[in-house]
């Protein structure tokens, strides 16, 4: 249960249905192994974690003959405003896009990891977990045929989202001012956010936080859907108009996504994330404890969001985006035994300094060009124009 302080009522808490958290664990296993080069962990505990999470998603997916696709029903996505269909007693929603797409990613990546395992590790893992080839075949099938709903020329948050009522946003802002916690306002009025196309925080747009545009296109293509820049930008605009940002994490995700599609709007969200606790934007929550995830996210926004930094193919790939309000910035990170690799972005230039050590050179890819930077060296690269 959770309390709505506006109405004084205790309400059912259905967050246990946010099964996408399992995909986040799998995603971070993969990210950790890519950044650290910890192949021993990937061959043992990491592979088993991916395997068991894939089993969960395979079991959760049911085949719909009418659609010719698999569906995952009865879940709650990142947007906690929606935990049931209007007028129904049962909790949960069907085919949350973020849940289904990340589940497909987990299944596909687990198959790749298992395929790359050395035969002795693979054999031991299969025997210990009782994994059979028929399971792998189902994982592959599910990863290619999970259902993703669409409506009005955009990606739907979940099946039926487009059938919900539109909210009069201007009227509620005029009446209440701050409507970040719109769910509490509506419940106190005897209404529910489940009836409206209104989101607490990024849901579909979370895909743009986890995956680069190229990765997202590949994921949707594997599922049999086209995802081009125009469709994604329409989807971003659609949900921007329907999100109240009732979570301190929402500004981070929107700042990250907008840096790619609407750079002039991105900084407002980045700044809100930075000010979240200092200005107590949630209206009293700072006294209950700082938003540590949002604070860490502001660092992640600089390190990976604005720089476009990805760890892949045993190297670092960068795709920086300039923000008008941020003329220059720098950060350092640890990568595969290198401590304090320095990055400095300035207009038209990226400077990388690798500290002296006995480690191997780092492969840096930018705009289709790959350079090798040795320990003790500084490399300056020209940034492509956007």
- Catalytic annotation, residues: 80
Q: Do 194 and 200 contact (CB within 8 A), yes or no?
A: no
**Residue appearing with tokens 């290198």:** 338
CB proximity list for 43: less than 8 A, separation 6 or greater: 117, 118, 121
Residue 285: how many CB atoms within 10 A of its CB? 15
CA distances from 61 to 96, 158, 279, 374 (A): 12, 15, 43, 47
């Amino acid at each position: 249960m959770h309390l709505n302080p506006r109405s004084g009522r205790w309400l059912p808490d259905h967050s246990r249905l946010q099964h996408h958290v399992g995909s986040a664990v799998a995603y971070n296993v993969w990210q950790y192994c890519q950044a650290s080069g910890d192949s021993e962990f990937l061959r043992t505990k990491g592979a088993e974690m991916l395997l068991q999470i894939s089993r969960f998603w395979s079991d959760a997916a049911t085949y719909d003959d009418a659609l010719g696709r698999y569906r995952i029903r009865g879940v709650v996505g990142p947007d906690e405003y929606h935990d049931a269909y209007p007028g129904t007693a049962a909790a949960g929603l069907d085919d949350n896009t973020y849940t289904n797409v990340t589940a497909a990613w987990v299944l596909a990546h687990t198959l790749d990891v298992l395929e790359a395992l050395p035969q002795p590790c693979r054999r031991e893992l299969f025997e210990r977990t009782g994994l059979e080839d028929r399971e792998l075949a189902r994982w592959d099938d599910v990863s290619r045929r999970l259902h993703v709903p669409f409506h009005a020329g955009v990606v739907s948050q979940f099946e039926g989202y487009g059938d919900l009522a539109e909210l009069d946003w201007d009227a509620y802002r005029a009446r209440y001012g701050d409507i970040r916690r719109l769910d509490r306002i509506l419940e106190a009025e005897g209404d529910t956010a489940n009836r409206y196309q209104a989101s607490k925080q990024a849901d579909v747009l979370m895909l743009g936080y986890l995956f680069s545009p190229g990765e997202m296109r590949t994921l949707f293509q594997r599922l049999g859907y086209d995802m081009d820049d125009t469709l994604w930008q329409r989807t971003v605009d659609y949900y921007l108009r329907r999100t109240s940002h009732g979570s301190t994490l929402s500004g981070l995700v929107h700042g990250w996504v907008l840096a790619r599609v609407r750079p002039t709007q991105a900084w407002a969200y980045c700044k809100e994330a930075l000010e979240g606790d200092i200005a107590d934007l949630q209206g009293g929550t700072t006294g209950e404890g700082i938003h540590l995830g949002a604070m860490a996210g502001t660092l992640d926004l600089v390190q990976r969001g604005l720089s476009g930094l990805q760890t892949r193919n045993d190297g670092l790939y960068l795709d920086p985006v300039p923000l008008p309000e941020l003329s220059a910035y720098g950060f350092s990170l640890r990568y595969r035994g290198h401590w304090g690799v320095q990055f400095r972005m300035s207009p038209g230039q990226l400077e990388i300094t690798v500290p002296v050590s006995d480690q191997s050179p780092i492969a840096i890819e930018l705009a289709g060009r790959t350079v090798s930077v040795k320990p003790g060296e500084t490399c300056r690269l020209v940034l492509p124009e956007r």
